[in-house]
């Protein structure tokens, strides 16, 4: 595919999300699949930059909640088409992860992008969805015996719930690693809440998860 065509499709995806034009996103996503453009590239350089621009428009009060919802629908329409075509990578680590957006918070786009990265890397992800009661994370970690729990929050009000979840999980299972993320979260907050890690975006989340799981596997081998 020519560089020009790649650029054109990425722009279509981005503009389609910004203009909440679901049909346009669907047409571009189908073209990505049919013409063989790398679907991961299309998601990360087309759909996500579109949603980032939507965030900016909301902050500038050009967009309001109804527009946000329509933009999110357009983004999800594109993801549904391209996700099955994202190439699986073999990273040689079979990680089990529990993931969700904390209670009171329905912002799930970021969490779903992180989940997608983990799926592609071959992790087994137990996705609890959004607005997840705090104790549900603790129960699911114990039920699945997951290596890692990923918590997402997009509001300063809901972010505080993470501290409670981290404390409860660590009490029951100190070996379980916990990573947190979302717009209001920072390295400092993660440290303060007692999390093992923080990542600012989905690719860093995967990198950090791989590092954490490699360390965990080494410790498990040593103690076996």
Query: What's the closest the beta carbon of residue 224 comes to ligand B12, in angstroms?
Result: 29
Tell me how many degrees the CA angle 131-135-139 measures, rounded to the nearest 5.
Answer: 115
- Of residues 89 through 128, those in contact with ligand B12 by CB under 6 A are 104-111, 113-114
194 binds ligand B12 (CB under 6 A): no
65 binds ligand B12 (CB under 6 A): yes
Nearest alpha-carbon partner for 41 in 23, 14, 74:
14
Nearest alpha-carbon partner for 14 in 59, 70, 56, 71:
71
Contacts of 79 (CB under 8 A, 6+ apart): 43, 47, 112, 116
Query: Which H or E element spans position 98?
Result: strand 96-101
191 binds ligand B12 (CB under 6 A): no
Work out which of 69, 191, 215, 219 binds ligand B12, going by CB under 6 A.
Answer: 69
Piece in contact with ligand B12 (CB under 6 A), picked from 33-41, 135-143, 153-161, 211-219: 153-161
Nearest alpha-carbon partner for 154 in 97, 98, 108, 100:
108
Q: Which 8-state DSSP code applies to residue 85? A: G
Work out which of 50, 95, 100, 182 binds ligand B12, going by CB under 6 A.
Answer: 182
CB 162 within 8 A of CB 193: yes
Closer CB to ligand B12, residue 31 or residue 165? 165
Work out which of 32, 97, 116, 205 binds ligand B12, going by CB under 6 A.
Answer: 205
Tell me how many degrees the CA angle 169-171-175 measures, rounded to the nearest 5.
Answer: 70
User: 124: buried, middle or exposed (CB in 10 Å: 19+, 13-18, 0-12)?
Assistant: middle
Reduce the DSSP state of residue 154 to 3 states and report it: coil
Closer CB to ligand B12, residue 6 or residue 212? 212
CA atoms within 13 A on the CB side of 167: 7
Count of residues that bind ligand B12 according to CB under 6 A: 37
68 binds ligand B12 (CB under 6 A): yes
Query: What's the closest the beta carbon of residue 49 comes to ligand B12, in angstroms?
Result: 9
Q: Hey, how many other C-beta atoms are within 10 angstroms of the C-beta on 200?
A: 13
Work out which of 11, 58, 124, 217 binds ligand B12, going by CB under 6 A.
Answer: 58
202 binds ligand B12 (CB under 6 A): yes
Query: What's the closest the beta carbon of residue 51 comes to ligand B12, in angstroms?
Result: 4
Interface residues with ligand B12 (CB under 6 A) are: 48, 51, 54-55, 58-59, 65, 68-69, 72, 104-111, 113-114, 150-152, 154-157, 179-184, 199, 201-202, 205
């Amino acid at each position: 595919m020519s560089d020009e065509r790649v650029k054109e499709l990425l722009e279509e995806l981005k503009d389609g999300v910004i203009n909440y034009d679901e049909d346009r996103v669907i047409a571009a996503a189908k073209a990505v699949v049919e013409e063989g453009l790398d679907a991961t590239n299309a998601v990360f350089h087309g759909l996500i930059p579109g949603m980032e621009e939507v965030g900016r428009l909301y902050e500038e009060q050009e967009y309001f909640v109804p527009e946000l919802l329509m933009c999110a629908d357009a983004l999800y329409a594109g993801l549904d088409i391209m996700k099955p075509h994202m190439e699986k990578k073999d990273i040689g680590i079979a990680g089990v992860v529990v993931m969700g957006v904390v209670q009171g918070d329905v912002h799930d786009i970021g969490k779903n992008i992180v989940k997608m990265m983990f799926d592609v890397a071959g992790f087994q992800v137990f996705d609890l969805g959004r607005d997840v009661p705090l104790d549900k994370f603790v129960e699911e970690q114990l039920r699945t015996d997951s290596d890692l729990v990923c918590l997402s929050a997009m509001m300063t009000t809901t972010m505080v719930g993470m501290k409670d979840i981290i404390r409860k999980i660590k009490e029951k299972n100190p070996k379980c690693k916990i990573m947190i993320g979302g717009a209001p979260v920072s390295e400092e907050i993660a440290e303060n809440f007692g999390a093992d890690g923080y990542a600012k975006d989905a690719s860093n989340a995967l990198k950090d998860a791989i590092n954490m799981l490699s360390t965990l596997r080494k410790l498990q081998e040593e103690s076996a």
